[in-house]
Structure 1
């Protein structure tokens, strides 16, 4: 259904064409499909009504189900990045999904008037398995790929929405079924996020819509709760997966075709498929997985990533996608020919992908700190990590009572002024003093006033002002999380018995090295309203 939405721009500006959706009975994913259609504002009709009507054109991205009972010329649209896998117990044994004559033929004749394909290689394979369907096929390209390519200019905006900054965004992709990454290695997202330094890496997960539907968003949020609390971005089923690929720095994948879209964008690809019966030998996906580095265990990612970055993955995608940027124009020509209409003169173009949702911000982080004179190196991990760490830092009070009571560092971020007529707000000085009274285990309380300015109150050193210099290049300004700087200052104060203010510190946090000024607390910081 989502594939159909990517094709519908071919009819934009044409009041002669009315679009109605129906769902073929028998799918276990009906509920989510209906929900997606409702969100899109599309008009649906019942299956009974669809069967009773004559249609000028029937568009589908899958040949399965009782489509043959509908009246009108049918079009099978590109679905996925070619024919890479077979589905056990579905159709003819060992025939790639999408090429099975059992679904493509009715009484020995092709059901579809047009079989739209993304690449000549797919046409060759269709001719091998179902020659009569291949006689009605045309290579038009892939409209979904064109949406990704057309959205590349938005990459910076997507990363900004995700809060990626200068971190590397690693996207895990999982297809559906018993051989998928999430079925075979359900622990991998949590393991990766617990071992990757939070200020160097961001992790996202893309699931096939069928897997999302089978499990449900409710159960997925429970199964992935630790990883989500550690900052994992979980793509919703439609469009967000593609925006995450545009934003990504690398992809870890099973045998699902999503990774071929990533390869078409030039993203490094790392294999995480443990083998099985679904992947078709010689398919574009099989060829790619045979050549890219493989992730055997989570701890290997930082070592495997440089090898993946040395591969130019675009060559793998060239065997799955042809005619980049031309799919909608070619489909418009084919579809209007079947409708026996002349297309409107309105230019057709893929819609840019919408921004993905921001992931949950970690509320408690375990911090590894190394202090050498006035230079501090910081690595932060989710609170459930097994890594050796120096202290726990948590956001007060959102992190919860358990973390608040055990954290050595507690911070709070300043909020915009309330529009309410009656207000009561803490000053930075008042809040930091109160936190040290209420949390006896806390050594440092910090009010984060802005990305460049904090007030910290250390149990021994008292209140201090922090100034964080942004990293500047010729054309960019780069900032790190002030919470990491607060942990660096906390570690330095604990490791430095004698010092005199003002002090200039150098903090190494992920890919950035920032200079930090530490001085006696000034009045503006002390009285700042939180």
Structure 2
């Protein structure tokens, strides 16, 4: 068997089909790169990363294969010997490329590519919905005669992996925050082409303890610019914790983990809708969007937000409104015209493909492979601009990046992770104790809690509070001139789920309360509002054991 890929996008679709042949030692799997695409290099890198056996294209066209699978009709596929099965390389067929093929024809259903010398290129078109067969019948009746509906293997991976949502969120460090995914397709009408500064703006304006952001970029962005250039382009947002999942599998795990999605007219929006994620439409697709397509209907029904004209605070309001006003099943219904046979794509494909191979399918079921736990690097910001409101024993804090233009009460910095400039400017300095036993095993010199706090306040004489975060539930701090205090952090429980704040945010809350309270009576319990939840914090004088605790 030959898997023929013209780009990384097409290759990823083919890799999702591999379980059809899982465990069958009668099948020899070979991959080849179809020449002619600007994005072929990325496909080669992806093939290398999965350890696939590749053959040069010149060899592939000379070799008769029992079956070839491709996820794009473009390129020299007519040179191959043997039957060809075509799969979609996206969802919904809602996009047309004005500079390629037939005007107003959906990319993937264009007769300019599906026919070679008036003869259908493929033996079989394996489509996701009967409406796609009907569309193909209008545009290319000869190809439609060879089409059948099998569903979408990529969607089935997403659906099958929903039980791992909590595991994905833990790996991403999401916690109790809302994970908002920005999805951008390829081309001049994409979200990033239209509003390139939107990820940076949102990461600056949205409170860090309420939101986590992820930017899902099209594989062609990686192919055209490279991961290094993209990282430099989005460096300000990455520094605030923006996630940029890789374009194979990881993006899908992030979509499963997401609480809401800001999107353009890329097919990722349809997958998000099929998962019933609240959607906000940032772009309308312009001339690339095919009127009446499932994607067009989805964007027409989704709430709109202008990434350029609206201030980011309004975007945040729209996100909250979309999430809190979401009715279960309402968005999923909008994706139904794009996906049929949910959960059955691989078994149906196995039946079709093995019939063409003349083989009896394996007895083991063809099941989607669960999406792996994402390993996307997430930068934990070391500096925050903190705004606070104190009302008696109630303290609300919001943290944003230090370059945030809005009002802030103080700067808080992780002393051994921030720049000297930020450490010297911060009113609150803290350190995280980390794994003390591991540090001892490495014979690394350490501190006592009181020793480091005293050192920090002496080294930075303008700083007002220093703290050591000992664990997720405990920190010790001193406001300049005051006693050493212990803060025990309680959890927030909602419907049986337990949430905990970042202790560094609690340090800032206690600092603000001490600043606003002239003669604090201790011990006391503060009500700290961090993100969207309230946490009890028991504040008391530190004990000798806490003062001498080594880290």
Regarding TM over 0.5, the answer is yes
Question: Which has the larger displacement, 208-217 or 303-312?
Answer: 303-312
The CA deviation string for residues 477-506 of structure 1, in whole angstroms up to 9 with x for no partner, is 221110110000111111111112212111
Alpha-carbon offset, residue 274 of structure 1: 4.7
In structure 2, the CA distance between the partners of 1:293 and 1:112, relative to structure 1 (3 Å rule), is same
Contact map agreement 1:85 1:280 (CA 8 A) in 2:
yes
Aligned residues: 530
Contact map agreement 1:292 1:308 (CA 8 A) in 2:
no
The CA deviation string for residues 265-288 of structure 1, in whole angstroms up to 9 with x for no partner, is 111110000542100011111111
Alpha-carbon offset, residue 213 of structure 1: 1.7
In structure 2, the CA distance between the partners of 1:84 and 1:168, relative to structure 1 (3 Å rule), is same
Residue number in structure 1 paired with 2:266: 256
| Alpha-carbon distance in structure 1 between the residues aligned to 2:158 and 2:95 | 23
Runs of 4+ in 1 over 4 A off after TM superposition: none
Contact map agreement 2:16 2:153 (CA 8 A) in 1:
yes
Alpha-carbon offset, residue 460 of structure 1: 2.2
Match of 1:22 among 32, 36, 60: 32
Contact map agreement 1:427 1:529 (CA 8 A) in 2:
yes
| SS in structure 1 at match of 2:98 | coil
- 1:316 aligned to 2:353? no
Alpha-carbon offset, residue 419 of structure 1: 6.4
The CA deviation string for residues 361-413 of structure 1, in whole angstroms up to 9 with x for no partner, is 11111111001111100111112211211111111221212211111111111
| SS in structure 1 at match of 2:509 | helix
Residue number in structure 2 paired with 1:173: 183
Match of 1:334 among 327, 331, 352: 352
The CA deviation string for residues 313-348 of structure 1, in whole angstroms up to 9 with x for no partner, is 111100000010000000000111111111110111
Alpha-carbon offset, residue 204 of structure 1: 0.7
Spell out the pairing of 1:296-307 with structure 2 (5 A cutoff): 296=306, 297=310, 298-307=312-321
| Alpha-carbon distance in structure 2 between the residues aligned to 1:494 and 1:38 | 58
| Alpha-carbon distance in structure 2 between the residues aligned to 1:291 and 1:192 | 23
Contact map agreement 2:92 2:270 (CA 8 A) in 1:
no
| Alpha-carbon distance in structure 2 between the residues aligned to 1:358 and 1:52 | 43
Contact map agreement 1:163 1:358 (CA 8 A) in 2:
no
Match of 1:469 among 472, 490, 497: 490
| Alpha-carbon distance in structure 2 between the residues aligned to 1:508 and 1:405 | 27
- 1:445 aligned to 2:463? no
In structure 2, the CA distance between the partners of 1:232 and 1:104, relative to structure 1 (3 Å rule), is same
| Alpha-carbon distance in structure 2 between the residues aligned to 1:71 and 1:282 | 37
| Alpha-carbon distance in structure 2 between the residues aligned to 1:21 and 1:482 | 50
Question: Which has the larger displacement, 422-431 or 128-137?
Answer: 422-431
Gaps of 5+ in 1: none
Alpha-carbon offset, residue 420 of structure 1: 4.5
| SS in structure 2 at match of 1:266 | coil
- 1:198 aligned to 2:208? yes
Residue number in structure 1 paired with 2:426: 407
| SS in structure 2 at match of 1:94 | coil
Match of 2:537 among 511, 516, 519: 516
Residue number in structure 2 paired with 1:83: 93
The CA deviation string for residues 75-121 of structure 1, in whole angstroms up to 9 with x for no partner, is 11132112101113112222110111111111101111110000011
Residue number in structure 2 paired with 1:529: 550
Residue number in structure 1 paired with 2:4: none
| SS in structure 2 at match of 1:367 | strand
Alpha-carbon offset, residue 148 of structure 1: 0.4
| SS in structure 2 at match of 1:319 | helix
Match of 2:361 among 340, 343, 354: 343
| SS in structure 1 at match of 2:30 | coil
Question: Which has the larger displacement, 297-306 or 64-73?
Answer: 297-306
Question: Which has the larger displacement, 64-73 or 291-300?
Answer: 291-300
- 1:380 aligned to 2:390? no
